[in-house]
Amino acid sequence: MSAALRIGVFDSGFGGLTVLRELLPQVPQAEFFYVGDTARLPYGSKSRATIARYAVESAQFLVAQGIEYLVIACNTASALAIEEIRAAVRVPVLGVIETGAASAAAISRSRDVLVLATDATVQSHAYAQACAQHGLRALEKACPLLVPLIEEGWTEHPVTAEVLRIYLHEALEQAQAAQMQPDTVLLGCTHYPLLRPLLERTLPVSMRILDSAATTAESVHRDLQARSMLPAQVITRLHAAAEAPSASRCHFYATDSIEKFQRLGSRFLGQAMHSVTLMDIGG
Ligand code: DGL
């Protein structure tokens, strides 16, 4: 077994790879273990109990791989199951909701934020609560069709463009009715960064897009430092940026087609994915 810090990352599918992509340069000597529960996605249309059961199973699988730290790279699981996950594993657990809200608070001038997320995340109002703690009002808009379209690889497809246009139009109408003036769009689902080019073309130019992948990776780094889990030489190398971020430090596990995971996952990760293992963690 290597001596590198072992970090687990999971999502219902490919979305969490946008977080892993940011983690690779942030923690250059860690070894990453990633689970994409592709056989059971989308999580965003399921009940709290089901999401919690799936998320806990993935977390426990990762702990069995020897991870020492867990990143829930899924807004839906972070919003609905973080307590269950924390109760089920003995390693530190970091979710994506709080970091997203904190980074929105750092940039929003109007103090109104539009959050695009899955249905389950919106129903939980986890973002509204996290944003309120930072003095922000959040208009939460469920976009249930986006994850299946993204998982299909349709990130530039005209159907996806039209679906997105309709969701944004509805959201901006709701904002007007609520007398809100959102200046920031928070991508409250780790799949959505793949739609950034489409979003930039569809949103009013005055609105800023914020995805929590980069801020989550920064939070992980800070938290690891605070817990003294980063050896000194890791910190030095991080700042020297001596190593190119490489997926060769990653072990990938998917619960459905390996071929599809490698093909689509490389888009999310920004590089080829070699070692992908099919896993079965129950139905
Ligand atoms: N990527 C996940 C999220 O951040 C969920 C996608 C899904 O399975 O619905 O919410």
Q: Domain ranges in the chain?
A: 6-95+214-278, 98-212
Active site residue 74: yes
CA atoms within 13 A on the CB side of 190: 38
Of 131, 143, 189, 250, the active-site residue reads 189
Query: Which residues does the chain have with pLDDT short of 70?
Result: 1-2, 232-245, 282-283
Pocket test for ligand 1, best of 115, 140, 150, 191 (most atoms within 8 A of CB): 191
212-226 vs 17-26: helix axis angle to the nearest 10?
50
Helices then strands (H, E): number in the chain? Answer: 12, 10
**β-pairing, 112-117 with 184-188?**
parallel
What is the CATH architecture assignment of 6-95+214-278?
Answer: 3-Layer(aba) Sandwich (3.40)
Pocket of ligand 1 (CB under 6 A): 11-13, 15, 41-44, 74-76, 118, 121, 147, 189-191
The SS3 assignment for 231 reads: coil
Q: Cβ of 217: how many Cβ atoms within 10 Å?
A: 23
**Residue nearest to ligand 1 atom 2, measured at CA:** 74
241-277 confidence digits (pLDDT tens): 445 567 778 999 999 999 999 988 998 898 988 889 9
Kindly tell me the burial class for residue 29, based on how many C-beta atoms sit within 10 Å of its own C-beta (0-12, 13-18, 19 or more).
Answer: middle
Give pLDDT, residue 181.
97
Give the whole-angstrom CA distance, residue 30 versus residue 231.
10
Q: What is the DSSP string of 139-165?
A: EEEE-TTHHHHHHTT-TT-HHHHHHHH
Give the whole-angstrom CA distance, residue 68 versus residue 93.
10
Give pLDDT, residue 2.
58
Active site residue 143: no
Question: Residues 6 or more apart from 18 whose CB is under 8 A from it?
Answer: 73, 190, 191, 193, 194, 211, 213, 268
Q: Do domains 6-95+214-278 and 98-212 have the same CATH topology?
A: yes
Give pLDDT, residue 214.
85
Pocket test for ligand 1, best of 189, 192, 210, 256 (most atoms within 8 A of CB): 189
What is the CATH architecture assignment of 98-212?
Answer: 3-Layer(aba) Sandwich (3.40)
Give pLDDT, residue 280.
81
Give pLDDT, residue 65.
96
Q: For ligand 1, what atom is nearest to the CA of residue 190?
A: 4
